[in-house]
Each structure stands twice: as structure tokens, then as C-alpha cells.
Structure 1
Amino acid sequence: MSAGLTTWRPRLIALDIDGTLLSWIEGQGTTYEEVPAAVRDAVRRAHDAGAHVVLASGRSPHGMVAVADLLDLPGMDPGDDGDPLWVVASNGAVVFRYPPLEVVHEETFDARPAVEAILREHPSVLVAVEERGVGYRVNRPFPVGELSGDMVITEVADLVADRVSRVIIRDPESTAEDFLDLARRLGLHGTDYVVGWTAWLDLAPVGVSKASGLAHVAAELGIDAADVLAIGDGRNDIEMLRWAGRGVAMGQAVEEVREAADAVTASVYDDGAALEISRWYP
């Protein structure tokens, strides 16, 4: 961030969900579906003061609306005067307004070559593609709690027969380091990828990230990246943290994420997002 920090105030606040708004359930690869009161109150203060609040997550659209509801912002209930939220889903591949859920921008790609390359090296992986409004089409069931909605068993060839916005690759028996090595070795030409906290690999269209999705929203709102505060904790937040005028990593983030940020706040277990937002909207 440039000089003049003391006079700066974000016009748009981009918030990751899992590990930022919601705390992790230790050892289970999922989060508590509850926004702490301190975080909810801080988000509400910023919103009421005129800041645009944008959720930005690797989750699919239908996996984000329940969290949007938890924030209980003006515009979230019928009859409210507020505008619908802008939401960046699927690591930037889908941008929508809510409520109601209205997709306004989507990026797709041919995932078949990358998925086939991964399966040649790692034939036991789980593969998932979003089935909007239903859940996911999967080659085999994922661990309980890792995907929202229903899981529809589908052959891999059918999963990637058409262009998609995102593909999830998962192996509960491997580690994040295993998947980082796999992705580097394969190169995964024609796609971008991000590895999560566990052996979870998201495949996306080239050039698509939370940053690109947020850039679309910012352009619609007439806001420069310099006026954006972004808060996140995962590797899929790195581009967003670098793009924003102020990028803040959560305290529990891995070093790679912390290095991409302008600052580090407290962990999700200590309401780090609330502490950062309250700095600008006390």
C-alpha cells in the first residue's frame, strides 16, 4: 500500500469465507457455519457506512448464499431498501448478485486434458464439477461435509465432456504437499490451479482467480483496486491479496499467503477479520 495509510479507507471490502468469516473445525476439512458476532457486527458497520461488501470464495454459488444470509445485511430480505450483494464464487469463475441468485458473469474452460493428465498419474482421485442448484456431479462420493448440496455419481468422461467453470480434484489419502508437487510436475497446460489446505486441487480457466472476479465487480461499481481491502487465508487468496490496495492475511495462513499480503491480522479463532475491518470502520 502507498503512503497516506492514515487517510485511506476502503470503499470495497472483499472477504474470503472459510478460514476468514468461518472458523475451521480441526481435523475435518470443513468450517462451522456460523459467523462470530464480532465479525458480523464489523461487516455490518462497514456496510452501513457505505462500503461495498463482497464475498469471494472457492465455494460454488449455492454454497455461498447461506453464508451471505448469515451476514444479515440490508437488501438480504424482501422489502429491504439495500442493494443485492455482489458475490465472487468458484475462485473467480462465477460472479453473481444475491438475493435472488443471478449470475452476471461466468468463465468456462475445457478441463478434459488436465483431468486426464491427473488421472494418469493419480487414478484414485475424486473428481467433482458443480451442478448449479443441485450440488455436484462426482465420480465417487467426497468425504462428508466437504461439498454442499447433493452428490450425483457421474462418469469422469461425462463430467468433463462440456466446458466447465471449475473442477475439484481431491484425495483424502494424500497431502497438500503431494498435490503441489503433482501440479508442478504436470504443468496442467491450458488451466490455472490452486491447492487448498489439504489434498484439494481446484482447476480453473487460465487467468481466472478471485482477483479477476473482484476486478469485474470493481469495474461495475466504478471502484479502483487501490480502494479495496481484501482479507483471506488460503492459497486461492494470494492473487486477491496482491491485487487489492490493502491485502490482509489471516493469522493462521501459511507463509506463502502471509508473504503476499500487506499485513497480517489475528487468526480466524480470534476474530481477525473483525479486527482489520474495525480499524477502518470502528
Structure 2
Amino acid sequence: MNERKAVFFDVDGTLFKQGKNVPKSTIRAIAKIRENGHLAFVCTGRSRVMVPKTPILDIGFDGVVAACGMYADYQGKLLFAEEMRQEVLDDILPVLQRTETMYILEGTEYIYYDENTIGNAIDDWYIDAIRTMIPGHFIPVPKDSCKIRASKVSIQVPPQRAHEVIEAAKKNFQILLHYDNIGEIVPKGYTKASGIRRVCELLGIDRADTIAVGDSINDVDMLQFAGCGIAMGNATEPAKEIADYVTTDIFEDGIWNAMAHMGLL
């Protein structure tokens, strides 16, 4: 075990919430732990292109783990970037199209949408936010699937077709449902925890020296894997139950209090 820790922070619900600013205490806490010699990483289900400079990367991080463990960089240098195999794409895309599932293929550089189903999105603000965040990088799915470079798929399934999509996806994917019919599908074997594990192997970081901070169902695996798992006060019950420590709400200095509890400040 080393005195230097590597802290992996989820984004949505942990560092910030859509439509609100990153708490000033969060920015101060991350700057302080880095000043004290610790490493700070973003660890998100978002694809890399969906991790914006403002307001996230401007906080100041040593690296990014993105796309549920399929991508990582450190100090501006790529560590790894995995993509879905061609045969996997060719297997799942017809199912999504047949079931009129709204789907978005998320890659390192581009987000691809299906022109026939994009109108089925319940939350237009989400689509509008993507267009605003990455103008020029939100493009229609190419007719030739060989041109697609994607790591994961975000889906919104018609409720009556959810079972059909889930059954078809089971072969090659693990399914993370945030609601009954809204979630993401990721190639089997990839999670936030697998991304952290691989980063640790590449950088020579002991698992015991890792800390993961999150709030949602897709953070449970990394909270369980890390040397210490911290759930936000606003976290879901599954995240709180698996965590070693539950801090305060994101807007009640949750990150600052978590880092203080760990003695990193």
C-alpha cells in the first residue's frame, strides 16, 4: 500500500448535475488532492467525446476512463480505446431498428444516431444537449456499418419491446438499465471496474490505493472493486449499500467531505 491514492470520480450525479454548475467545493477538493500528490481521474459511462472540457475537464484531472471501461487516457496520452467488433454491430443493429428503439452509438470521436428513431426520444433536451456539446460530431449512422467506430450503445426502448431487445442483446452485451426501458448496452467484460483495473495495471497502481466515488447503478461495480468505494449522499440505494462510506449530497460539499474523510486534503 502506498500513501499516494488514485481517485476515480463518476461524472453525472457525482461531479455535477445537468443544468447546474459544478460545486465550488468539488473543484477545490480535486485541486487540493492533486496538490497533495494524489491522482484524480474521471470515470464515466459517457464516451470520451461526451466528456466536455467545460465544465468537467477544466476542473483538472490526471486522466479519463470513459465508455464504461472501454477507453482511458493519462496525462493527455491514450492508454487504450476499444471498439465494438463488426459482427457484434451487425448482430444488434437490425434488432434495434426492427423494434423502433431509439439508439445512439457512442464512440471516441463521434456519436451516431439513427435518423428513423431519433424522434422517438422521450427527452428531447438530451438530444439537444448532445448537439450543442459536440457540434459536428453528432452524425447519422453510416449506411456502411464498417465505418462505425463505437464503444457502447445508449438505448430507449418502446416498453412493449424491451424484453425482445434485452434477450437479443444478452448474447454479446451486458445491459445497464437506469429505468425500465432506458439504459446502455456495453460489450461483455467491460465495466467501470474493468477500466480502473486496466489503468492500475498500466500505471503500476495497487488496487488497495484506489478510491471510487459514484452515485448510480452503473457505479456499483467500481465502488465494489476499489480499495474504498464512496457513495454520494444523493446516490441510489444499491450504490449506498455496496459503498464503504456514504458522503453528503453533491450540493452539500459531498466531494470535499469525502476527500476529507479519506485524509487526502
Q: Same fold (TM over 0.5)?
A: yes
Instruction: Give the SS at the match of 1:281.
Output: coil
Instruction: Give the SS at the match of 1:43.
Output: helix
Matched, 1:87 2:64: yes
Instruction: Go from structure 1 to structure 2 and tell me whether the alpha carbon gap of 1:190 and 1:39 turns closer, same or farther (over 3 Å shift).
Output: same
Match of 1:77 in 2: none
Match of 1:281 in 2: 264
- 2:47–2:107 contact (8 Å) kept in structure 1: no
> 4+ runs of 1 displaced by more than 4 Å?
7-10, 157-163, 181-187
Residues 98-154 of structure 1, C-alpha deviations (whole Å, 9 max, x = no match): 54xx4320222323323444555xx22211113544x41100335233534243223
Instruction: Give the SS at the match of 2:151.
Output: coil
Instruction: Go from structure 1 to structure 2 and tell me whether the alpha carbon gap of 1:154 and 1:186 turns closer, same or farther (over 3 Å shift).
Output: closer
Match of 2:57 in 1: 69
Instruction: Go from structure 1 to structure 2 and tell me whether the alpha carbon gap of 1:14 and 1:202 turns closer, same or farther (over 3 Å shift).
Output: same
Instruction: Go from structure 1 to structure 2 and tell me whether the alpha carbon gap of 1:186 and 1:43 turns closer, same or farther (over 3 Å shift).
Output: same
Aligned-pair distance for 1:192? 1.9
Instruction: Go from structure 1 to structure 2 and tell me whether the alpha carbon gap of 1:118 and 1:188 turns closer, same or farther (over 3 Å shift).
Output: farther
Match of 2:184 in 1: 202
Q: TM-score, normalised by structure 1?
A: 0.76
Alignment map for 1:20-59 (pairs within 5 Å)? 20-23=14-17, 31-32=18-19, 34-59=21-46
Aligned-pair distance for 1:160? 7.6
Instruction: Give the SS at the match of 2:150.
Output: coil
Q: Which amino acid aligns with 1:89?
A: A
Which of 9, 12, 18 aligns to 1:15? It is 9
- 1:65–1:98 contact (8 Å) kept in structure 2: no
Aligned-pair distance for 1:163? 6.4
Q: Which runs of 5+ in 1 are unaligned?
A: 1-6, 24-30, 74-84
Q: Distance in 2 between matches of 1:36 and 1:49?
A: 20
Q: Which amino acid aligns with 2:240?
A: R
Instruction: Go from structure 1 to structure 2 and tell me whether the alpha carbon gap of 1:190 and 1:14 turns closer, same or farther (over 3 Å shift).
Output: same
Match of 1:113 in 2: 91
Aligned-pair distance for 1:92? 0.8
Matched, 1:233 2:209: no
Q: TM-score, normalised by structure 2?
A: 0.80
Instruction: Go from structure 1 to structure 2 and tell me whether the alpha carbon gap of 1:132 and 1:106 turns closer, same or farther (over 3 Å shift).
Output: closer
- 2:23–2:250 contact (8 Å) kept in structure 1: no
Q: Which runs of 5+ in 2 are unaligned?
A: none
- 1:111–1:167 contact (8 Å) kept in structure 2: no
Q: Which amino acid aligns with 1:86?
A: G
Instruction: Give the SS at the match of 2:125.
Output: coil
